[in-house]
Amino acid sequence: MTAVELESTSAPATALPERLPAPTGLSPSRISAFRDCGLAFRYSSIDKLPEPPSAPAALGTLVHHALELLFTRPAGQRSLDAALADLDVAIELASGTPDGEVLGLGGDGHDETREQAADLVARYFALEDPDEIRAIGLELRLEADIGGARIRGVIDRLDLAPDGTLVVTDYKTGRSPSQFSEQQRMLGVTVYSAMVEQVFGVRPSRIQLLYLKDPVAISTEPNDRQVRGLDIKVGALWQAIERACERADFRPKQSRLCDWCSFQAYCPAFDGDPAAAWAISAANPDAKRPE
Ligand code: SF4
């Protein structure tokens, strides 16, 4: 479904209020979303416009689920065959859901999706031996206060390393990023590190991003400078969001991401009307807003 197909386009125009409700918190992905484009952030996190499921994101969810299931098996039983069996369970559970539909599970896209997901799962084994990992948390939901904002996030995996320290692992199913966006993504995982430190009272010794497609691992060792920098960056960003809400002023920021943006129909950069987006939100006041 494209932006023009969203049912919201037919809603009557409603004037934008003088101020918009601020979100009650943020997730690492919402932090990136605001940095990428303030207006798209507003449509997604404040107006809560419907967004069509994306096939790459759905494929990523499938692979994450297969790897999560793999780590519920005891060490010594985490072979590639076991991981592929877990992938089949994940595929079965996704069938009939919106993600399953966008991937064509049970239909035309089933075999191709299974092949792509199996390839990513197999590539994971080039990065580490899962039998050597002591995972103490899977899909771990954490909350912490960073830079004055309530941050909520889900950590793919938290490991206890042989030396007794904690390691945060995040799986990525896209290609590894350029150096610039690598720093952007590292901001996200540094948030995870800060959350672990606040919740468990111990700073992780390492944070690693496992890019399955390449496959390549990027890791960093969090330090005091990073933690201080994170507090300042998230604090500044949170203040910018609050200011934008107070003034109901979220600006579009055009980039390559516009090609995949679901909100073009409401974006002034594409001759869209932002007030039409607010009309959808006003007509659906109980919609749960992402954070
Ligand atoms: S189309 Fe581009 S500029 Fe407009 S809201 Fe989407 S990402 Fe932002």
Tell which wins on pLDDT, 288 or 151: 151
Least confident of 96-100, 204-208, 254-258, 280-284: 280-284
Predicted pLDDT of residue 157: 97
Q: Say if residue 225's pLDDT is above 60.
A: yes
pLDDT in tens, 101-139: 999 999 999 999 999 999 999 999 999 999 999 999 999
Decide whether any atom of ligand 1 lies within 6 Å of the 251 Cβ.
no
Residue nearest to atom 2 of ligand 1 (CA): 258
Give 160 Cα–ligand 1 centroid separation in angstroms.
41
Q: How many Cβ atoms sit within 10 Å of the Cβ of residue 14? A: 15
Give me the residue spans of the domains in the chain.
55-130, 134-231
**Torsion angle of the four alpha carbons 58, 193, 158, 184, in this order, in degrees rounded to the nearest 10:** 30
Residue 6 in contact with ligand 1 by CB distance below 6 A: no
* Per-residue pLDDT at 6 exceeds 50: no
Which residues in the chain belong to E strands, given as ranges?
135-146, 149-160, 166-172, 206-211, 216-220
Q: Is the pLDDT of residue 289 over 60?
A: no
Test site for ligand 1: of 49, 267, 270, most ligand atoms within 8 A of the Cβ? 267
- The percentage of the chain sitting over the pLDDT mark of 90, rounded to a whole number, equals 70
Give the Cβ contact number of residue 89 at 10 Å.
12
What is the torsional sign of CA 145, 194, 230, 38? negative
How many other C-beta atoms lie within 10 A of the C-beta of residue 145?
A: 14
The dihedral region occupied by 190, where left means phi > 0, alpha psi between -120 and 50, and beta the remainder, is alpha
- Measure 177 CA to ligand 1 centroid, in angstroms: 21
- 172 pLDDT higher than 50: yes
Whether pLDDT at 10 is above 50: no
Residue having the nearest C-alpha atom to atom 7 of ligand 1: 258
Pick one of 3.40.50.300, 2.40.160.100, 3.90.320.10, 3.30.710.10 as the CATH number of 134-231: 3.90.320.10
Nearest to 250 by CA among 9, 27, 22, 51: 22
- Please indicate whether residue 183, judged by its CB atom, sits closer than 6 Å to ligand 1: no
User: For residue 187, what pLDDT is reported?
Assistant: 74
Of 263, 266, 271, which is best to mutate to test ligand 1, by the most ligand atoms within 8 angstroms of its C-beta?
Answer: 263
Residue 188, pLDDT above cutoff 80:
no
Per-residue pLDDT band for 291 (boundaries 50, 70, 90) equals very low
For residue range 62-97, list pLDDT tens digits in order: 999 999 999 999 999 999 999 999 999 999 999 999
**Among 256, 250, 238, 261, residue whose Cα is nearest residue 191:** 238
Max CA pair span of the chain? 61
Average pLDDT, the chain: 89
Q: Return d(Cα 34, Cα 253) in angstroms, integer.
A: 10
Task: Using the predicted structure, report yes or no on whether residue 195 has a pLDDT greater than 60.
Answer: yes
Kindly report the protein residue whose alpha carbon is nearest to atom 5 of ligand 1.
40
For 76, the 3-state DSSP assignment is coil
Residue by residue, DSSP assigns 21-75 as PPPS-B-HHHHHHHHH-HHHHIIIIIS-------HHHHHHHHHHHHHHHHTTSPT
